Structure 1
Amino acid sequence: MGKYRNDLPQLKGGTFLTDGGMETTLIFHEGADLPHFASFVLLADPAGRKQLKDYYTRYLDIAAKSRTGFVLDTATWRTNPDWGEKIGYDAKALKDANADAVDLLSALRSDYERPGIPIVISGTIGPRGDGYKAGNMTASEAEAYHAVQIETFAGTDADMVTAFTLTSIDEAIGIARAAKRLNMPCVISFTVETDGNLVTGRTLQEAIEAVDGATGSYPHYYMINCAHPSHFDTVLLGNAAWLKRIGGIRANASTMSHQQLDESERLDDGDPADLGEWYRHLTHFLPQVRVLGGCCGTDHRHVQAICDACVPANALGA
């Protein structure tokens, strides 16, 4: 059982960093072969495991120097039945990969965690379908589908689960319900288009309020990922209660739309310093946002810039 499962430290204050765009870094910067953007395949051999370990340690070193907490997300964004079938992984192989991904992070936590500087392990869940398109499952279907992966995480050292790049409110409700049934703390992260709304046209406010209403506000907080801050900053203004439910941001450095990113043959990694300033801007009017990292096109340079812009001295005491 996860050491922080009943007492998540990022809910108590301080700043927690996390990593950047894992798949884009591994593919475009390191030449990894990731079928269907599935980074979990690297767990299958020693060379791949070392590549993942080296990837994580670049970020953990930043956090250690800055004395921030850290949220370690597993390399399991694609480790669900539909994507696994495309890659040739059956149910047992997927279960083993999910558990193995946590084991890798448990070892890293043992190496890096220090008193007063916690490292949280989160089991990563991705959408059943394409993260840039609308899902079509009902909440009940999503609960049954994603419960398989969440149940595996519940039997490991994972402290929580986080569902990233969600476009469907019903899928988010199903994931939160499954996590609640399995007693796993959960975080829901939506992605938005250039207008700040989900691809379905629903607003972030509608999404967060709908999931909270359907699950008794079970998610511990919400995040936004895989969009540039300029795509969503204006919808986060004000003092409405739903805004206070946003606890983390993992943005893109690129200002491209999802369609443009999908069609691009090169990696647009934007400007790390500019992204850091955007995070300074966002955390100024969303002071409850504690978890800071990146998404597509970002790497350790961007997280360092975010850290430089947002992390005060003695961050965990802030």
Structure 2
Amino acid sequence: MKYRNALPQLAGKKMITDGGLETTLVFLEGIDLPLFAAFKALETDAGLKAMDTYMKGFAKLAVAQGRGFIMDTPTWRASARWAAELGMTQDDLREVHREAIATLDNLRRAYETPECPFVINGIMGPQDDGYSPGTKLTADQAADYHKQQPAWFAEFGADMITAMTLTYSDEAIGITRAAKDAGMPVVISFTVETDGRLPSGESLAEAIAAVDRATKDYPAYYMINCAHPEHFSHILNGDWTQRIMGLRTNASRLSHAELDEAETLDDGNPEELGLLHAGLADLLPNLTVLGGCCGTDHRHVEQMCRATQIA
């Protein structure tokens, strides 16, 4: 099936994503991920096995819960700046995208049902640090920097793109323009600090309004990721919240600075995290996509589904 022009979640189908892929691979599976680049796991037998087990677990969970599954490519760090630091060429990077999408297509063929649609989601990440960027791009610079990944996602058959852990609106605007140029629907996912504001200091409402204004409302919807519900639940009021259709929350209440320094995994309390999502669903009228971020795995996403009772 192809969903590029009719994504099920846009028609109200409740979907799940996966959880904290990188934290699962590093802390639970003992897989080395230089620069937190999950696609590096594809280079070893142990990494391939761990990622296969991880994604199949979420596929089975989606079917068991009667949800669709938005399958993410492990390409959050697969852009030019990070590839150069890893000693990779453009050809290497292109092959990473091809292989990632082909693998997810096989997963979809194995597990998708008419009641549980599977969507291939090309993941993009920021050009700089996902918590505290040292440099910021203008919207034009970001569009130029990020233009290659959307083109590959379109070429190899992804259904959509999601840009994760964005920390300021200008980069989100540039990514949105790059996705539009490639003819791909795009979702913008911002991260927020413990006060509910972006690391840039922008409010979430301001950032969403800035992107919509600059791109004529091109993003399919917005998400929040890499933050605990208690960090942002207090800001979810106003008409702008209708643009938020997805959440990928952290298990931990730690700040981003504390998470950066953590040497052990804080996986929180899966049941408690799930219950917090019941309250978030009341605040977000268009919430259709639930998943996890740092410290989360199948347990957390299952509890989210149970607590919100989405069908």
> C-alpha separation between the residues in 1 aligned to 2:10 and 2:122?
17
The alignment's C-alpha RMSD in Å is 1.1
**Partner residue, 2:49:** 50
- Verify: 1:133 aligned to 2:132, yes or no: yes
Aligned length: 310
Deviation at 1:52, TM superposition (A): 1.3
Deviation at 1:49, TM superposition (A): 2.3
1:91-106 pair list within 5 angstroms: 91-106=90-105
> C-alpha separation between the residues in 2 aligned to 1:106 and 1:147?
23
Deviation at 1:304, TM superposition (A): 1.0
Instruction: Tell me if the contact between 1:15 and 1:311 (Cα under 8 Å) persists in the aligned partners.
Output: no
Deviation at 1:43, TM superposition (A): 2.0
For 2:151, the aligned partner's letter is E
TM-score computed with the length of structure 1 as normaliser: 0.95
1:279-318 pair list within 5 angstroms: 279-312=277-310, 315=311
For 2:76, the aligned partner's letter is W
Deviation at 1:228, TM superposition (A): 0.4
For 2:260, the aligned partner's letter is D
1:1-318 pair list within 5 angstroms: 3-134=2-133, 135-238=135-238, 240=239, 242-312=240-310, 315=311
> C-alpha separation between the residues in 2 aligned to 1:140 and 1:79?
20
Worse-superposed segment, 2-11 or 200-209: 2-11
* 1:27-49 CA-partner distances (Å, limit 9, x unpaired): 00010011111110122344432
Deviation at 1:265, TM superposition (A): 1.3
* 1:123-151 CA-partner distances (Å, limit 9, x unpaired): 00011110001351011111011111110
* 1:178-228 CA-partner distances (Å, limit 9, x unpaired): 111111000000000011001111100110000000001000000000000
Query: Any idea what SS the aligned residue of 2:165 has?
Result: strand
Deviating 4+ runs (over 4 angstroms): none
Query: Any idea what SS the aligned residue of 1:70 has?
Result: strand
> C-alpha separation between the residues in 2 aligned to 1:51 and 1:254?
23
Deviation at 1:50, TM superposition (A): 2.5
Worse-superposed segment, 219-228 or 90-99: 90-99
Instruction: Tell me if the contact between 1:5 and 1:158 (Cα under 8 Å) persists in the aligned partners.
Output: yes
Deviation at 1:94, TM superposition (A): 0.6
* 1:97-144 CA-partner distances (Å, limit 9, x unpaired): 012111110000000101132111100001111000135101111101
Query: Any idea what SS the aligned residue of 1:268 has?
Result: coil
Return closer, same or farther for 1:45/1:250 CA change in 2, 3 Å cut-off: same
> C-alpha separation between the residues in 2 aligned to 1:258 and 1:311?
30
Instruction: Tell me if the contact between 2:122 and 2:162 (Cα under 8 Å) persists in the aligned partners.
Output: yes
Query: Any idea what SS the aligned residue of 2:69 has?
Result: strand
Query: Any idea what SS the aligned residue of 2:104 has?
Result: helix
Worse-superposed segment, 261-270 or 224-233: 261-270
Query: Any idea what SS the aligned residue of 2:192 has?
Result: coil
> C-alpha separation between the residues in 2 aligned to 1:290 and 1:76?
23
For 1:171, the aligned partner's letter is E
Structure 1, unpaired ranges of 5+: none
For 2:103, the aligned partner's letter is L
> C-alpha separation between the residues in 2 aligned to 1:286 and 1:122?
22
> C-alpha separation between the residues in 1 aligned to 2:236 and 2:18?
23
> C-alpha separation between the residues in 2 aligned to 1:207 and 1:131?
16
For 2:27, the aligned partner's letter is F
> C-alpha separation between the residues in 1 aligned to 2:121 and 2:107?
13
Worse-superposed segment, 214-223 or 5-14: 5-14
Higher relative contact order (CA 8 A, sep 6+): 1
* 1:44-67 CA-partner distances (Å, limit 9, x unpaired): 344432221111011111111111
> C-alpha separation between the residues in 2 aligned to 1:77 and 1:222?
17
Provide the identity percentage: 52
